[in-house]
Amino acid sequence: MSTSDATLAPTRAERHQKPRPASDFRPDIQGLRAIAVGLVVLYHLWPKRLSGGYVGVDVFFVISGFLITSHIHREIVSTGHLRVTRFWARRIRRLLPASLLVLVLSGLGVLLFAPSTTWAQTAREIAASALYVQNWQLATSAVDYMALDNVPTVAQHFWSLSVEEQFYAVWPVLILGLLAVMRLRGHRDTRKAVLAGLALLSVASLTWSVVSTLQDQAFAYMSTFTRVWEFAAGGITALALVSLRRPGATVAAWLGLAAVVGSGSVLTEASLFPGWVALFPVLGTVALLVSGAETPVGRVLATRPMTFVGDISYSVYLVHWPLIVLVPHLTGHPLRWTEKLLILVATLGLAWLSKTWVEDPLRTGPLLSKAPRRAFVFALTAMALVVGSTTTWGAVLEQREQRAATEAAQRIEAGERCLGPRALVPEDGCSSVAGDGPLVSPPEAVVAQSKDPLFTRCQQSLGNPALLDCVLGDPSGAKGTIALVGDSHAGALIPTVDELGKRRGLKVVVHTKGSCPATDARRTVEGETSDERQASCTAYNAAVDEALLADASVSLVLTSSYTRAYGWEGTGDGPETGIAGFASRYERWRSAGKQVVVIADVPATAGEPVPNCIAQHLNDPEACAVPRAEAVVPDLAVSAAERAGAPVVDLNDLFCDAASCYSQVGDVIVYRDRSHLSIEYARMLAPFLDSRLR
């Protein structure tokens, strides 16, 4: 694909003031790359000490916009056209060999050293990274409540590389499109026209970034559309760049450096980023680009140590994160200072090797550079091999999960004496709480339940306030109807209550919604940046109330909530507001003639997802236990039930003994993540809930 002649005519200002040649090599830009990658790597290693180091990615985006737009402008002005296929081939030679090699080696590292619970998620993300859509994969997970406990994978950092590749794919076509439109409209000053087009694009993207960040920060952070303006800022700088005179250049350089480094030091994970806050690192980078290499700051950036790190910055970014993820699996503990320093040294060494033996030879050698089609064939073949391998990997894991589910159902149906919660029943005389046989479902099958829950139609998503039509148990309702109401912890009891309904001949109506406890109080959740989810929860709770009060067939309401996960807004102190909100709802249901039973929330677990812990301690599952005094925490719903005169069913004795609360009981993994019950354990609680309700 190539274009007809499309030139950028110089403006009057450009005819009177010579622009700085965009084609000149800028060693200070290499130094700026070193600062950018340094911010990111140090943030990943010491997030509390450099809490805003993630802005290094934004610095890279601006630099990319500057350099790529400079290249496109230079080629169009000098040749009268732009060969887009050659442009894309150069990007392939520069970026894909090293990135795909790192993906392959990282996947092998996960298979060798990481627990099996991480394999399926890793396979999905490596495939997405190979196709350069990892940012959208993570953006989707960021708004998926059931994926919030996902642990970082070796490919997670490819989100920013995916955004960059999408930029490289679209940017030359976009600029040529702007040129074509302006020529059709009779504009001869195409430089000014393109600048105007990029300015409009930048304003639109920045506006969307601000709005999207307020609505859903997690999604906005990964979205390509909220980052376009950062590339555009670099592009505008490239087209409008003129030499600054001292002392203006020196002042701009110091202000730019302060904005970039200051953002990395001051911002935190709680900052509303990207949004308008990203203006600080972006404009700081623009100031450094404009000020040039002749300022004191520019001369420091152009020193050999800085340019060396800048030269290998791409490989540094590629290799540092897999090391950070994999080393703790090798050592069996979180990273310590000495290990972090060793990772820094190893990152620089591996990055230099990658640059010397992979990037440069394939970028400049005859194998891929003789003709663009060679680069495209390489890209398609290598990406297909990576995606095909990970797809096969995922299919094998899925077959193992299906086989495990079948075997689990057979063992549960057989009713082994010490299986599951029965191992904690003193009368059964079981010798081991954890069990001494094979696991009913292996850790990788249990962790997959969060991604693919059994009753997908029964728990409403975070942003949707509509009721779902979910009927379980005995749909005929021959012996009555009961309702299960609450947030995702109530949703985790769906297998329990479904089994209960089948045992008693009861129809079960389910009203559960992630992060939405059944309360009249206004809950707050750490990390929520807008009122959208709160408004959705309020509307959902109102709809549940209306449905329950209008349905005379519902005689019993079972409810449970993850109360320790929320804060509360109100006139009193937080806990009192929460208790009052739950109590008022229970009283309203009771006044309507419903019996209300609160099921006490499950005990708390340790920090990491339970299946991961079990996978790493298969021979010592009690290492994943938590002292009972720490695990059994106050449940505001229980306090509210006592105030409202509603009975409480407490199942903690089926999770804990007098000393500890367990993550594996009777050969069954108790939780599928950090706090939600596994399907197997929830189902096996049914006879105990049945007897206690009677």
Where residue 6 falls among pLDDT bands split at 50, 70, 90? Answer: very low
pLDDT at 23: 45
Q: Cis ω on the peptide bond leading into residue 334 (within 30° of 0)?
A: no
Residue type, 405: A
* Residue 352 CB-density burial (10 A; 0-12 exposed, 13-18 middle, 19+ buried): middle
- pLDDT 10s digits, 217-273: 889 999 999 999 999 999 999 988 755 556 788 999 999 999 999 999 999 988 999
- pLDDT 10s digits, 622-650: 999 999 999 999 999 999 999 999 999 99
82 vs 1: CA distance, rounded Å: 9
Where residue 402 falls among pLDDT bands split at 50, 70, 90? Answer: confident
Listed as own residue / partner, the contacts of 222-225 with beta carbons closer than 8 Å and 24 or more positions apart are 222/135, 222/136, 222/138, 222/139, 222/142, 222/159, 223/135, 223/139, 224/135, 224/136, 224/163, 224/166, 224/167
> Do the Cβ atoms of 84 and 2 come closer than 8 Å?
yes
231 vs 198: CA distance, rounded Å: 10
Where residue 608 falls among pLDDT bands split at 50, 70, 90? Answer: confident
Ranges 21-35, 54-68, 298-312, 368-382: which has the least confidence: 21-35
pLDDT at 320: 97
Across the range 647-658, mean pLDDT stands at 96
Q: Give which of 150, 139, 140 is closest to 117, Cα–Cα.
A: 150
Q: Which residue has the tokens 């350099």?
A: 67
pLDDT at 160: 96
Domain ranges of the chain: 12-387, 453-600+635-650
Where residue 571 falls among pLDDT bands split at 50, 70, 90? Answer: low
359 vs 339: CA distance, rounded Å: 27
- pLDDT 10s digits, 179-209: 777 777 766 666 777 788 899 999 999 999 9
Across the range 337-361, mean pLDDT stands at 95
Average pLDDT, the chain: 89
> Do the Cβ atoms of 327 and 154 come closer than 8 Å?
no
123 vs 1: CA distance, rounded Å: 34
Where residue 25 falls among pLDDT bands split at 50, 70, 90? Answer: confident
The CATH code that applies to domain 453-600+635-650 is: 3.40.50
Helix (H, G, I), strand (E, B) or coil at 140: helix
Q: How many residues does the chain have?
A: 694
**Token pair for 200:** 């409009």
Across the range 280-289, mean pLDDT stands at 96
Ranges 33-37, 323-327, 441-445, 498-502: which has the least confidence: 441-445
Listed as own residue / partner, the contacts of 164-167 with beta carbons closer than 8 Å and 24 or more positions apart are 164/60, 164/61, 164/64, 165/91, 165/95, 165/132, 166/132, 166/135, 166/224, 167/61, 167/64, 167/65, 167/68, 167/224, 167/228, 167/231
pTM for this one?
0.86
Where residue 145 falls among pLDDT bands split at 50, 70, 90? Answer: low
672 vs 405: CA distance, rounded Å: 14
Is the pLDDT confidence value at 530 over 60? yes
